Every structure is written in C-alpha cells, then in structure tokens.
Amino acid sequence: MSSRTLHLDLGRAGYEGVLRLQRELHARRCEATIPDAVITVEHDPVFTIGRSGSLDHLLVERERLDAEGIGLCEVERGGDITYHGPGQLVVYPIVDLRQRGRDVKRFITDLEETAIRTLRVFGIDGGRRPGYPGVWVAAPPAALAPGTYKIASIGVYVKQWVTRHGLALNVAVNPEHFAMIRPCGLDVAAVSTNDLLVRAVSLGRVRDAFLAEMAGVFGWAFETASPEEIG
C-alpha cells in the first residue's frame, strides 16, 4: 500500500526562502506532525557550497556573480559546489528514514534510480558512477564534445534520521553558469535533458514524469499541498 506523502510545487523561487521552508518542514517531520513531503522548485540562479565544498572550485570572481545576479550560499548538505537556476528541476524530499530502515545509502540510490527512470521516459540513457552520487549520461551524442557529462546532482543532509536537500536535474540550464564552477569539484561538464533531445521538453513535463517515477520507487501516493496549508 502506498504511503501518503505531501507534494509542494513552488514554481520559481529564490533559494534562501526555500531553504527556510525545508528547515521548517524538517522540524515538523522530526516531531511527526506531518508525513513525508517533497518540494519541487525551479530556483533563481545560485551557487551552493556543501560541507565538503571549497570556494577554490568557484572559477570566477565574486564581483561577476554580483553583476550577473547569481547568489552564493553555504549549506549543510553533503557535497561540494553546485549550481541551481532556471531550467533545472530541483527536488527536496523531507523523509523520515526511521521508516525506511535508517539506510541513507539506499535513499540516495533511490533518488538516482528515480532520475534514471525519468530520463528513460524521454529516451535518455542515464547511469551511475561508482563513488560519485548523481546521474551521468552514459553515451553523449556526437554533437557534444567527448567527455564526462553529469545531468543530475545529489546532496543530502540527515538529522534525527530525517532528510533535507536532495536532487537537481538539468532540463534546460544556462551552460555559461555551469562553466563558472568545477561541479562537485570534478572536471566534468554539465548537460541538460534538452541537449540530448531532438524536440525539447518543458520543465513541467519532466517534473510530472519525475514525480510519477518517484511514487513508484519510494512507494508513495502524493497529495498536493501548499506551505500555507501545512503551516
């Protein structure tokens, strides 16, 4: 039987406000006053740096970020520096792992599996890379330069066995912004779903496919909610 899980779609929103909402929902989930919840959002441009991150992997001066309206935020998730911005589906699951075997690795694997299945819906072959959480394009098309391409990033934070932060899947992001960093400290190139398709898909369509696959992987039945309804 599928378990009831809240879904909050925030449309496009700034990073710091959504981070506050994550923390509020995390506290509520720790108190067991709400069920598991999933936030989906498309962020304004921002670089976030995780616990193992370094500003050395930011390849431009801070003044350029200010000039282009790109934020910079240090956060408690795992991982290094990454980018969020328009054309990217960001998914924040607020999940009580005490009800899922207290298995953080399995949770990350399930996030990867959801992204891989979502890409498969659109005819894209995504895969894993041992030791590096996220999803990679197994066989980039000839139109792209040879190299290693990452299409989805994962970074989570767990406190009291409840998760926050999550996954970002590139749909149609600005490649010039990604070129400003070494994503996760690696010499890799970012690629978007629409770079790999003859006919572009909307972020909304990818979001809906992702949620459908996520429901199957995690055994959830989504119930639409808003921050106001929960608060």
Which residues are annotated as catalytic?
184
Distance (Å) of CA 155 to CA 50, 68, 133, 134, 159: 8, 25, 8, 8, 14
Q: 127: which DSSP letter?
A: E
Contact criterion met (CB below 8 Å) for 5 and 56: no
- Identify the CA nearest to 46 among candidates 168, 223, 191: 168
Q: Burial of 116 by CB count in 10 Å (0-12 exposed, 13-18 middle, 19+ buried)?
A: buried
Contact criterion met (CB below 8 Å) for 191 and 150: yes
Q: Indicate if the alpha-carbon torsion angle 9, 13, 18, 21 is positive or negative.
A: negative
Phi-psi region of 61 (alpha: psi -120 to 50; beta: other; left: phi over 0): beta
Give 191's strand partners: none
Residue with tokens 């990679």: 136
